[in-house]
């Protein structure tokens, strides 16, 4: 089984890049299942129903979210969709679900998202939440989106779940890391899959407002950068019989967006 995981999809440029590359890679790399992180998909903060529909239409099977889950009220109805997952370690009673199981060519594949706590929201423990889910995952293959700020916390999750899941894939920091490997227990790991979004912004945001934040300390509103987009993902090859990874391959492509039309 081959799973494509698309890194944080940021705004319209990210959606366009995903729309171009996901169908292409699904066909050429013989992909069986696609997961995308969509927490920045609508204007950089949270998805909407129309944006999610757009991403499902291009071949993404499941969407994970993250700390921007609650930024838009328009996201709340999406949390009822069984293909959309917010972090599982929010307290009981919070809307939405943190995991789900899909049937892929007769094999049950679970998608689980947990979120780190360092420099993030102080919610329930992601390690204990993952352990609780794995007591009865209801699937032969488990893929974990570890949405976290600190590389050490992501690495800790990789080693904590080593040998128990097919993959632990880091998201949130928007910069693709070069530490992809299969851990000794058969768990594919990468510190951050990277961002699918504007290539010439600052982690997706327009450079002007982002630089103003750093230069003045004033929290001005960030906007989505324009220009060409990058597509960051990983392809994980998994043995369905054991539920463990054979390989993990980084994907980085550039999508050349057309120049915006000038007003006459």
Annotated catalytic residue 68: yes
3-class DSSP state of 168 = strand
In what helix (H) or strand (E) does residue 51 lie, and over which residues does it extend? helix 49-57
How many whole angstroms separate alpha carbon 200 and alpha carbon 204?
8
Closest by CA to 110, choosing from 248, 251, 243, 247, is: 243
How many whole angstroms separate alpha carbon 185 and alpha carbon 52?
34
Q: Side-chain half-sphere of 50: how many Cα atoms within 13 Å?
A: 5
How many whole angstroms separate alpha carbon 210 and alpha carbon 219?
9
**Cβ neighbours around 96 below 10 Å, total:** 19
Would you say 157 and 135 are in contact if contact means Cβ atoms under 8 Å apart? Answer: no
Compute CA 5 distance to the chain's CA centroid, rounded to the nearest angstrom.
Answer: 7
- Phi/psi-derived region of residue 141, left when phi > 0, alpha when psi is between -120 and 50, beta in every other case: beta
Would you say 189 and 5 are in contact if contact means Cβ atoms under 8 Å apart? Answer: no
How many whole angstroms separate alpha carbon 5 and alpha carbon 60?
9
What is the phi/psi pair of residue 247, to 5°? -160, 160
Residue of 20, 68, 119, 147 with catalytic role: 68
Annotated catalytic residues are: 68
């Amino acid at each position: 089984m081959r799973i494509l995981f698309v890194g944080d999809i940021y705004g319209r440029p990210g959606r366009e890049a995903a729309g171009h590359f996901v169908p292409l890679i699904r066909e050429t790399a013989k992909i069986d299942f696609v997961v995308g992180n969509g927490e920045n998909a609508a204007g950089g903060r949270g998805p909407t129903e129309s944006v999610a529909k757009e991403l499902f239409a291009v071949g993404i099977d499941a969407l994970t979210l993250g700390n921007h889950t609650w930024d838009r009220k328009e996201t709340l109805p999406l949390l009822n969709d069984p293909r959309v997952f917010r972090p599982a370690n929010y307290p009981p009673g919070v809307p939405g679900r943190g995991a789900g199981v899909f049937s892929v060519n007769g094999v049950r594949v679970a998608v689980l998202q947990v979120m780190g706590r360092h420099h993030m929201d102080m919610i329930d423990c992601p390690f204990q939440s993952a352990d609780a889910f794995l007591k009865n995952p209801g699937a032969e293959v488990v893929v974990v989106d570890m949405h976290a700020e600190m590389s050490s916390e992501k690495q800790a999750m990789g080693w904590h779940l080593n040998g128990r899941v097919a993959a632990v894939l880091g998201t949130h920091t928007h910069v693709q890391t070069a530490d992809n490997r299969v851990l000794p227990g058969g768990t594919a790991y990468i510190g951050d899959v990277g961002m699918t979004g504007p290539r010439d912004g600052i982690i997706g945001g327009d450079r002007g407002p982002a630089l103003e934040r750093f230069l003045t300390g004033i929290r001005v509103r960030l906007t989505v950068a324009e220009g060409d987009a990058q597509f960051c993902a990983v392809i994980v090859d998994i043995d369905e019989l054991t539920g463990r990874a054979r390989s993990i391959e980084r994907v980085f492509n550039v999508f050349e967006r057309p120049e915006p039309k000038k007003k006459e």
